[in-house]
Amino acid sequence: MRNYWLIGLLVLVFGWQCMDAPSESQPDLPPSEAPDTVTRDSQVSYPEPAAYKNLAVNPIGKAGFVDMQEMSNQIIQDIRYATDNNFTKSTIYDCPACLLRPDAADALIQAQELVAKRGLRIKVFDCYRPRPYQQRLWDKVPDPNYVTPPSKGSMHSRGAAVDMTLIDRDGKELDMGTPYDFFGKEAHTDYTDLPKEVLENRQYLRETMEAVGYKGIRTEWWHFSFRKKQYPLSSFVWPCD
């Protein structure tokens, strides 16, 4: 009887030691090296991607956009519709801003990193365009060949499009054959009666943007829409100082 009691005691002690011993297949790791199995519903915090850092703390973020001026100091902004230096010859936006949906913003930053390898920078002429501003543009030029009707909605009004070009180290725009917002066949991407340099510049711009998820349109060499995700139309108008 005493032997059975002794055997039982040894089994109990040995069992507790096995439970306390760390597994060889899943060693205890410091928090910095442990696999990330934490969900967003837990109380554990971890760094958010840069593009999402302000989504919940300001009007722009709450509307689902990020401000490219805060995201990158390498991308140059020349928001033409906040001036009269555009094809309408009138000011459409109350103040300049380049807002995009976070994923589209991340992709544009990736494109900037690619062109930087050639000593180039991106210059944007237009980004998100609120539906009220799209209406202003339509009121000035009610022609669907040049302006998307507000009822249909532009990709700009979804925060998923940019009008852009490339500039060199001196800030000079690369020759793309026509100015921005030139509405003629020479601005079409399938128009090839242009100098070799222009065709190469357009091809490089298009291939770079396609590599990060944007896609161009036939009639405007400068326009690119982010196609990896669908976004709703928005009427949010960014605040002016």
Query: Which residues are identified as catalytic?
Result: 220
- Sheet (strand 214-217) strand order: 76-77, 121-126, 161-167, 220-226, 214-217
Are 224 and 162 contacting, i.e. CB atoms less than 8 angstroms apart? yes
Place of tokens 């930087």: 116
Torsion angle of C-alpha atoms 185, 187, 190, 193, degrees rounded to 10: 70
Q: Are strands 76-77 and 121-126 parallel, antiparallel or unpaired?
A: parallel
Q: How many residues does the chain have?
A: 241
